[in-house]
Structure 1
Amino acid sequence: MTQENALDGLIRQRIRGLRLARGWSLDALAARCYLSPSTLSRIETGHRRIALDQLVPLARALGTTLDQLVESAEDEDVVIRPEPEHTRGVTTWLLSRERALHGVSVAKMRITPQRVVDELAVHPGREWFTVLSGTARLRLGERTIEVGAGEAAEFSTMVPHAIGAADGPVEILTLFDHDGERAHLHDPEAT
């Protein structure tokens, strides 16, 4: 089976699967996307070629996007093998692809007490992190908050902030929006 045929079959499976997951008959979906039930049946079973002008209304009716409907199922877009990046007492593993999860980046960070934070960062957006091990010291403006293993913190990044280690190394799992990713993961001078 060629790669094109495999993707074609996957698209047909997705259409049928999404229809059935919604509990819709062929007639119900056909009415929502302005196709005849027989045309839809032939598309699902592979007896009719799928045209782009049919995929757009099908995706819309099924509550998905055209991109998601025709997305490849290859393994290389599933497994992420992060490479550690080391800077000033922080090791970071980026656990998501750029622009993944609707603009949210996921990273694991190991912060040592050697990390010295002189200036607090400020940027638009929100950040969230959970402590995997150790105790994090979160500086938010004039406040200092200790966040222990199993606890999480979420805050506006318009408040001057920095995350450090309290007593020993701390490992956190963090979510950054686009502005947070740029400020914390791509700027070597960011804190």
Structure 2
Amino acid sequence: MKQDGDLDSVVRGRIRGLRVARGWSLDDLAGRCYLSPSTLSRIETGHRRISLDQLSAIARALGTTIDQLVEPVGDEDVVIRPRHDETRGVTTWMLGGRDAPHGVTVAKMRVTRPVRRGVDELKVHPGRDWFTVLSGTLTLLLGERTIRVEAGQAAEFSTMIPHAFGADDGPAEILCVLDHEGQRTHLWQLA
């Protein structure tokens, strides 16, 4: 009897897909996870339920985790909708969020508003920020320094130095890697 359910189908497809991507036969995977090839075949085709012990052994053999094998499929993981803050002149696309590795967030930002020393508040928070300019030029106010960062260049700095950034003579697009504090300071304001 075949297993029903979308999740079962997704898990079976992921197991088979990872096995095939590695160029392994059923025998190859069976030897690595200590299951018989016929058991694996029945699991992949839905003719056998997968026990937690089997799923754990299969995941380990495939170099993945149970979480990754059973992760639900949904459109929210595919479509990234921009968040626009008219006041700050920033549009943000969150490219890595709560599940991002090492507690960092990756975001693409389109900055349209220039930054002005004496007008814009320079922020300070624990951590480090890193960004690369994809297009345009960004002005980075960093302490007493004013730094122009052009397309193809990157900047990294301690966020304990008072800082702010803005567009320099037209829109700029940047790709940012922010730690938890940087995410809270730069991106949560858009939520």
Which residue of the partner structure matches residue 108 of structure 2?
107
**TM-score, reference length from structure 2:** 0.78
Match of 2:169 among 167, 170, 189: 167
Change (3 A) 1:37 1:101: same
Change (3 A) 1:83 1:142: closer
Is the CA contact 2:97–2:106 (under 8 Å) kept in the aligned structure 1? Answer: yes
Is the CA contact 2:111–2:166 (under 8 Å) kept in the aligned structure 1? Answer: no
- 2:109 maps to amino acid: K
The answer as to 2:132 corresponding to 1:132 is: no
**TM-score, reference length from structure 1:** 0.78
In the TM superposition, what is the alpha-carbon distance from 1:169 to its structure 2 partner?
A: 4.2
- Tell me the SS of whatever aligns to 2:83: coil
Which residue of the partner structure matches residue 83 of structure 2?
83
- Tell me the SS of whatever aligns to 2:12: helix
In the TM superposition, what is the alpha-carbon distance from 1:48 to its structure 2 partner?
A: 0.9
Alignment of 1:1-191 (within 5 A): 5-87=5-87, 89-96=88-95, 98-102=97-101, 103-113=104-114, 116-133=119-136, 135-148=137-150, 150-158=151-159, 160=161, 161-186=163-188
- Tell me the SS of whatever aligns to 1:56: helix
- When structure 1 is superposed on structure 2, of 54-63 and 173-182 the one drifting more is 173-182
State how many pairs are aligned.
Answer: 182
In the TM superposition, what is the alpha-carbon distance from 1:184 to its structure 2 partner?
A: 1.5
- 1:62 maps to amino acid: L
- Tell me the SS of whatever aligns to 1:84: strand
C-alpha separation in 2, matches of 1:106 and 1:185: 9
C-alpha separation in 2, matches of 1:180 and 1:35: 47
Is the CA contact 1:140–1:159 (under 8 Å) kept in the aligned structure 2? Answer: no
Is the CA contact 1:107–1:175 (under 8 Å) kept in the aligned structure 2? Answer: no
C-alpha separation in 2, matches of 1:19 and 1:153: 39
C-alpha separation in 2, matches of 1:8 and 1:166: 52
Q: Which runs of 5+ in 2 are unaligned?
A: none
Identity in percent: 51
Is the CA contact 1:123–1:183 (under 8 Å) kept in the aligned structure 2? Answer: no
